[in-house]
A and B are shown apart, each in its own frame.
Chain A
Amino acid sequence: MRSMWWAFADGARHARGRVDDWLVGEKHAVRAAAVCRIGTGLAVLGLLLSNVSTRGMWVGQASVWAEPARAVSRFPELALLDGVSSDILALVYLVTMLATLAFIAGWHAKAANVVTFLGFIAIVAQNPVVSAPGDDLIRLTLLWMLLMRSSDHWSLDARRRGRRLAAGEGAAREEEALPPWLSTGLHNVGLVALCAQTVLASMAAGLDRVAERPWQQGTALYSTMQLPEFRPFPGLSDLLSQSTILLAIVTYGVLLAQLFFGPLLLNTHSRRFVVVLAVVVNAMLAVVFGLPWSTLSTIAVTLLFVSDATWERLEDAVLLATQPVTDWLGDRWYDVLDAVDGLRYRLVLPAVDWVRFTVLRR
């Protein structure tokens, strides 16, 4: 009995050690996190840009009619825009867009993530009547990314860090705020939470749909494609909905990508299949149903399941393919710098000299 207890305790200790090694040993999926950062940021920026001209009607003073719906919302961030003038709204809107841009570029990504998260809730939750289910996914992604290190690759932060290290300097103070093991641990915990969230959301949607007969028969999206709200391109909707085969492929594709998303992630080959399927399905939904921003955010979290090795290979392939273009752009950039320098010598410096010798001498 005693030896059994020791064996169990030893096994538990060993398992804990393995979990610890995974958690605090190294950051996982750092490139995938960078892709998720860029994709989610683009979804937020796209949403804000497509509503910028009508922001006053959407969430400003002219949305005063939505007050009863706003009153039952429990987001404290709503107070940021509560009854503010159009100037303040424009300012908050602009700050959120700039923060989102910084988040996409990975410029002080953590701070940009915080501002984007708060601004997104303050703006989007302001008018609950016209909210979209995809807003929830964007909010949840931004929330879990607060724990993650999403700017270790493909970001201005990474470039700055590289330059500092090349110059023999240490990391910036904001990057050393936490001990490395804690920063790594938080990143990995955030990654687990976001991946679990993505799998749960997909499977819940799939389970909900598979219970309905039209989804089983492969005709569920026919009725949605007939509604004016979901047919920005009527010709495309008609093309898909009039063909039984195409409609069944699209319907089963959506169902398969959601219902079996979790189980198919368990094997490397099936994971590649389901990730590609989910990306293709969401890209199709974006165009056919006119849902670009929510589907982009879904694609961003789906790409978290692409391994870092694959992203590295993709990066190498893209760099190799674009090398002639980047070389050409680099040469042109030096030409531009030379031209600017020439202008400085021919126009600016003589003007400065003229001011110094004629005006200031008096």
Chain B
Amino acid sequence: MPSSPRDAAVARPRHRWVVELLLVAVVVHSVVLALWLAPSSPLRDAAGDGRLASYVNPYFQQGRDVVGVGAERVDVSFSIRARVAPDGGGRSRATQWIDLTRLDDKAGRHDLTVGRVRLIARRLAANLDLALADLDEAQRAVVRGLTANELPSVVKVALEKAGGRPAAVQVFQAYDQMATQFTSLYAQSRWDGRVVQVQFRVGRRTVPPFAERGTASLDDVAVSHLSFGWRRTVRGPLEARETFDSYVKKR
């Protein structure tokens, strides 16, 4: 330890300003982060959501749910079925619905280290549910009337014409596309024969309030299903189909 201020000045390195500058950068960074994480306020609004997001993304990307667990109330499920034609030719027939989230829940019971693949069906359902909620009633009517023969570009125009925000349409179509591809790959591995068309549906129910815990449980709540129309099967790359084959057969 230097004994006097003069000794201290001698002991301190000349280029220490580099470290001082870094410390200032860290302080400024932390202030920006605090604004990003803070609840809505005039200060945060002045900084602007877009400006803060452009700084935070991608490496400092984070939300208010980084630590701990939140209060979740909605249980969603994701079920699929397909129209399958026999390999030798003939009429296609619709299969029974299978609830993928229920299979995931069963596999995850008493397992602390559940793999991320067990989250796919539930996340697709949750995101589709949110995306659909972001559309307005007229757009939801368009979604309900979709058929397998309609191209995404045509659907986009129809949805935008029905009103609402274009961004909401984009998000819905992205999740619709993801769900269609995932369902197609799953269905091709799940059912023998040629999968012609696929369909998925999202189930939704809410946990009864805490005050009713003695009389009602989640199992007592009826699931409200929302079926999306039939979609044309997307075959997908060979390696993807093989991976799905081995995964689905193991379940």
Instruction: List residues of A whose CB falls within 8 A of some B CB.
Output: 16-17, 19-21, 23-24, 46, 49-51, 53-54, 56-58, 60-62, 64-69, 73-75, 85-86, 127, 129-130, 133-134, 136-137, 139-140, 143, 179, 181-182, 185-186, 188-189, 192-193, 196-197, 200-205, 207-209, 211-212, 214-215, 217, 219-224, 226-230, 232-234, 241-242, 254, 257-258, 281-282, 285-287, 289-293, 298
Contacts and interface: CB of A to CB of B under 8 A. Distances in A.
Interface string B19-57: 110110010011001100111000000000000000001
B207 A226 contact: yes
Contacts of A50: 113-115
Contact of B23 (A19, A67, A74, A293): A19
Main secondary structure of the interface of B (DSSP, over half): helix
Contact of A17 (B5, B18, B65, B70): B5
Contacts of B59: 75, 139, 143
Given A62-B185, A209-B70, A224-B72, A129 B58 contact: no
A201 B237 contact: no
A204 B37 contact: yes
A222 B22 CA distance: 44
B8, B70, B213, B247 interface centre (most CB from chain A within 10 Å): B70
B218 A227 contact: yes
Given A68-B174, A133-B65, A222 B72 contact: no
A98 B19 CA distance: 32
Contact of B13 (A181, A200, A285): A181
Contacts of A21: 8, 12
Nearest to A204: B37
B71 A200 contact: no
Contacts of A196: 26, 30, 33
Nearest to A202: B67
B120 interface: yes
B54 to A, nearest CB: 10
A186 B21 CA distance: 11
Contacts of A61: 237, 239-240, 243
Contact of B210 (A54, A85, A214, A233): A214
Contacts of A62: 185, 239-240, 243-244, 247
A200 B30 contact: yes
B5 A20 contact: no
A20 to B, nearest CB: 5
A255 to B, nearest CB: 9
Nearest to B180: A65
Interface stretch (B79-87, B121-129, B154-162, B222-230): B121-129
A64 B181 contact: yes
Contact of B33 (A60, A200, A217, A258): A200
Contacts of A127: 116
A343 B159 CA distance: 78
Given A54-B247, A130-B123, 18 more contacts: A21-B8, A56-B243, A57-B244, A58-B115, A64-B181, A140-B60, A182-B18, A196-B30, A196-B33, A205-B66, A219-B210, A227-B72, A227-B75, A228-B101, A230-B72, A241-B213, A258-B67, A258-B68
B178 interface: yes
Contact of B117 (A54, A197, A212, A242): A54
Given A68-B178, A85-B239, A228 B113 contact: no
A205 B174 contact: no
B202 to A, nearest CB: 15
Contacts of B112: 232, 286-287, 290, 292
A65 B185 contact: yes
Contact of A226 (B69, B124, B218): B218
B95 interface: no
B236 interface: yes
B69 A189 contact: no
